[in-house]
């Protein structure tokens, strides 16, 4: 039966009854607990978390409505409209806050109430956004845009919301996205470049034309925005795109990028050492990983091509030295000479 009717009949009964106060109070309590508006308000107060002045005000108002109706049940029919208004106000605020939390754009309004069971998901998504934005900022702008950013996993959701909306997303939106993609090709070295063997050449080109050029190649991703031509890597084929991409090369995936904040990050790679030069140059990402000695890195394609050339040419030099081949033209040379005597003339001879 409609609990309002029950309350109405209970009022009539109470007016005509002498004594039996405890029994009547129990029946009133049960009638109120079965009232939809009371149930809804009780659910809102127990299942939601209230934040800041607005949230606390809503909570206190709802709680005082429940206290009032339960302590004065004979007046319940008069209190119920106010109680209904209280839960409708909370409902409205829940909807507004939920929309804000799911909005893709930065916002500055106060989040006053959130469903308790959604709070963890919201906090996880905020952390992911922070990490993803740090990744994209490093990808497109290097370490500069993230220099002043900090993230603390131990703070509450309000601090996270503030950090995302006032620091991370505005910083991301102010990053300049490169208009051009980089493309590295392997080519034969020689002539007046002196050293023989292969070398890597860096170029920049319109992103769309690079995509079209490389669309049919057998590729493997290097991170999220770069690719390696598997066939060219395995066969050593020259003059075709070897690897290409947009922006920098970062040592971690987007979900781990938040670990770059306030940490030492390598932007330069060391030169390959003797033992390493005995092996052929590894795939680009592996090359960067080995030459950063396990330190997190964010390197430009310039830095990558430099490291790859040091390794590629260094390896070729090691092989030619071992085989007594001229470092320049590849012909056999006697003794410990590195190049054919014909490549140099000297007045001192």
Partner 1 sequence: MTDVNNWDNIEEFLLKECYDLASQYEKHDGARDILREKSKQIKIPNDYVPVQEDAVYRETEMQIVTEAIYGLTLEGFAASDNSVFRYAHKINNLPSSAEKEYILALLALRGGTNETHRLEALKHITIALGYSPDDPRYLALASVLQNVDM
Q: Among residue numbers 259 through 318, which ones bind partner 1 (CB under 8 A)?
A: 270-273, 277, 300-303, 305-306, 309-310, 313-314, 317-318
Residues of span 223-242 touching partner 1 by CB under 8 A:
224
**Nearest distance in Å: CB 308, partner 1:** 10
Angle formed by the axes of helices 21-33 and 52-71, to 10°?
A: 140
Token pair 């956004």: residue: 129
Which of 179, 322, 332, 334 touches partner 1 (CB under 8 A)? Answer: 179
Which of 21, 255, 286, 293 touches partner 1 (CB under 8 A)? Answer: 255
**Nearest distance in Å: CB 180, partner 1:** 5
Which of 142, 145, 254, 284 touches partner 1 (CB under 8 A)? Answer: 254
Q: Provide the sign of the torsion angle of the four alpha carbons 167, 168, 173, 178, taken in this order.
A: positive
Give the β-pairing of 48-50 and 249-250: unpaired
Residue 207 interacts with partner 1 (CB under 8 A): yes or no: yes
Residue 18 interacts with partner 1 (CB under 8 A): yes or no: no
What backbone torsions phi and psi does residue 31 show, to the nearest 5 degrees?
A: -65, -40
Rounded Cα distance, 142 and 257, in Å: 12
**Nearest distance in Å: CB 160, partner 1:** 12
Q: Which is nearer to partner 1, 58 or 222 (CB)?
A: 222
Residue 244 interacts with partner 1 (CB under 8 A): yes or no: no
Residue 203 interacts with partner 1 (CB under 8 A): yes or no: yes
**Nearest distance in Å: CB 322, partner 1:** 13
**Run of H or E residues at 250:** strand 249-250
Give CA separation, 273 vs 108, 122, 270, 308, 325, in Å.
53, 47, 9, 13, 21
From residue 95 to residue 134, the character string flagging contacts with partner 1 as x (rule: CB under 8 A) and all else as - is ------xxxxx------------x-xxx-xx--xx-xxx-
Residue 246 region by backbone torsions, left for phi larger than 0, else alpha for psi between -120 and 50, else beta: beta
Which of 187, 278, 279, 280 touches partner 1 (CB under 8 A)? Answer: 187
From residue 23 to residue 62, the character string flagging contacts with partner 1 as x (rule: CB under 8 A) and all else as - is ----------------------------------------
Q: Which is nearer to partner 1, 193 or 295 (CB)?
A: 193
Residue 186 and residue 239 in contact, taking contact as beta carbons nearer than 8 Å: yes
Which of 177, 278, 279, 280 touches partner 1 (CB under 8 A)? Answer: 177
Q: Which is nearer to partner 1, 63 or 167 (CB)?
A: 167
Selection from 43, 31, 38, 32 nearest residue 84 by Cα: 38
Total residues binding partner 1 (CB under 8 A):
78
Q: Which is nearer to partner 1, 83 or 326 (CB)?
A: 326
Segment interacting with partner 1 (CB under 8 A) among 29-37, 40-48, 54-62, 253-261: 253-261
151 Cβ partners below 8 Å, 6+ apart?
127, 130, 163, 258, 261
**Nearest distance in Å: CB 56, partner 1:** 25
Give CA separation, 110 vs 52, 53, 106, 163, 241, in Å.
8, 10, 12, 13, 51
Residue 125 CA, distance from chain mean position: 9
């Amino acid at each position: 039966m409609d609990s309002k009717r029950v309350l109405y009949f209970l009022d009539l009964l109470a007016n005509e009854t002498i004594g039996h106060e405890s029994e009547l109070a129990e029946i009133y309590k049960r009638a109120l607990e079965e009232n939809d508006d009371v149930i809804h308000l009780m659910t809102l107060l127990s299942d939601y978390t209230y934040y800041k002045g607005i949230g606390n005000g809503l909570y206190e108002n709802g709680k005082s409505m429940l206290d009032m109706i339960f302590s004065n049940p004979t007046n319940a029919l008069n209190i119920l409209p106010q109680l209904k208004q209280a839960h409708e106000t909370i409902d409205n605020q829940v909807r507004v806050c939920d929309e804000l939390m799911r909005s893709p754009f930065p916002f500055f309004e106060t989040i006053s109430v959130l469903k308790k069971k959604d709070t963890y998901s919201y906090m996880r998504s905020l952390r992911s956004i922070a990490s993803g934005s740090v990744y994209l900022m490093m990808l497109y702008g290097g370490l500069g845009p993230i220099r002043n950013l900090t993230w603390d996993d131990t703070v509450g959701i309000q601090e996270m919301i503030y950090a995302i909306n006032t620091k991370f997303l505005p910083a991301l939106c102010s990053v300049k996205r490169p208009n051009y993609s980089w493309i590295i090709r392997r080519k034969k070295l020689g002539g007046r470049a002196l050293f023989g063997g292969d070398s890597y050449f860096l170029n920049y080109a319109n992103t769309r034309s690079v995509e079209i050029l490389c669309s049919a190649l057998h590729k493997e991703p290097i991170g999220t925005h770069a690719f390696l031509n598997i066939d060219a890597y395995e066969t050593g084929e020259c003059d075709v795109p070897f690897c290409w991409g947009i922006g920098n090369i970062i040592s971690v995936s987007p979900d781990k990028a938040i670990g770059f904040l306030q940490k030492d990050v390598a932007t330069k790679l060391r030169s390959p050492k003797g033992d390493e030069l005995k092996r052929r140059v590894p795939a680009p990402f592996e090359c960067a990983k080995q030459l950063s000695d396990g330190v997190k890195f964010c390197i430009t394609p310039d830095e990558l091509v430099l490291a790859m050339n040091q390794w590629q040419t260094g390896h070729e030099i090691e092989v030619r030295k071992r085989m007594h081949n001229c470092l320049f033209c590849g012909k056999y040379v006697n003794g410990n000479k590195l190049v054919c005597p014909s490549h140099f003339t000297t007045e001192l001879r």
